[in-house]
Amino acid sequence: FEDFISTLWKIWNNKNNVIFRGKDEDVGVIWDRACKLNDDLWIHNFSFQPILPQVPRSCKWEKPSEGVTKVNVDASVNALGIIARDSDGFVLSSKAIFINRVVNSEWAELDALIKGFWLAHSLNSDKVIFETDYASIVNRFRKHKEDIMILGHRIKEACKMLDSLSKADVNLVDRGCNKSAYSLCTWSLSDCCNLSFEMDYPSDIHNIVISDAI
């Protein structure tokens, strides 16, 4: 891939030389220079530290403030995962939902979020933070008043469900902060079934919930 990009750059550079300087180069010369450029870049990348070094980061679910419920949601084209927890990390309720049809990923994420809204209402929660790792849906919620698409109309209708809450935020989080919802989604997809639970959940999901709460 690097050779391909370098060659394209040299061809473009040669085109400029022909147009502005009237100087054309042989194809073999262009290839040799592209290879040399690629080698120089390869050596540089191994010889020098990056200006902005990549620092590995550890991201995990954060407990909400006292009196606030946090609902995490995730979705695939065939499954939804929703989990609600309190300020101690205690699971209030959760759902793993299998969808017996292929759904567009954006619509699936919206369905998961709406089911999260319903779950919050069923728990009589007044202050709720909803979290998803799907950036497009979060952006659409923040700009839903300007969205004239069908999905935007659905989001406008969904936002009405939040009017009765004193606090309702829809936030974007890293996948590492959304492991529990992701695991529910994966579990439902692998078993092709639905599950609603509070405390009696699969052991692998239990381990993630406990890890988040610590």
pLDDT tens-place string over residues 81-107: 999 999 999 999 999 999 887 678 888
Residue 46: band (very low, low, confident or very high) from pLDDT cuts 50, 70, 90: very low
pTM for this predicted structure? 0.70
Residue 35: band (very low, low, confident or very high) from pLDDT cuts 50, 70, 90: low
Within a domain: residue 27? yes
- Considering the domain architecture, whether residues 126 and 179 belong to the same structural domain is answered as yes
- Considering the domain architecture, whether residues 191 and 125 belong to the same structural domain is answered as yes
Mean pLDDT (whole number) for 24-52: 56
3-state helix vs strand vs coil in the chain, percent to 5: 50, 15, 30
Within a domain: residue 59? no
Structural domain tally of the chain?
Answer: 2
Query: For residue 187, what pLDDT is reported?
Result: 84
- Considering the domain architecture, whether residues 158 and 99 belong to the same structural domain is answered as yes
- Domain of residue 17 covers 2-47
pLDDT tens-place string over residues 143-190: 766 666 787 788 888 888 999 899 999 999 998 899 999 888 888 877
Q: Is the CB of residue 192 less than 8 Å from the CB of residue 98?
A: yes
Predicted confidence (pLDDT) at residue 47 exceeds the cutoff of 90: no
Sole residue written with tokens 């690629």: 38
- Considering the domain architecture, whether residues 90 and 7 belong to the same structural domain is answered as no
* CATH code, 206: 3.30.420.10
Distance from C-alpha of 97 to C-alpha of 46, rounded to nearest angstrom: 47
205 membership: H or E segment, kind and range:
helix 203-213
Judging by beta carbons within 10 Å of its beta carbon (0-12, 13-18, 19+), is residue 167 exposed, middle or buried?
A: middle
pLDDT tens-place string over residues 13-27: 666 655 555 666 665
- Considering the domain architecture, whether residues 153 and 88 belong to the same structural domain is answered as yes
- Considering the domain architecture, whether residues 207 and 138 belong to the same structural domain is answered as yes
Within a domain: residue 38? yes
- Considering the domain architecture, whether residues 75 and 43 belong to the same structural domain is answered as no
- Considering the domain architecture, whether residues 16 and 75 belong to the same structural domain is answered as no
Mean pLDDT (whole number) for 117-140: 93
- Considering the domain architecture, whether residues 101 and 40 belong to the same structural domain is answered as no
Residue 43: band (very low, low, confident or very high) from pLDDT cuts 50, 70, 90: very low
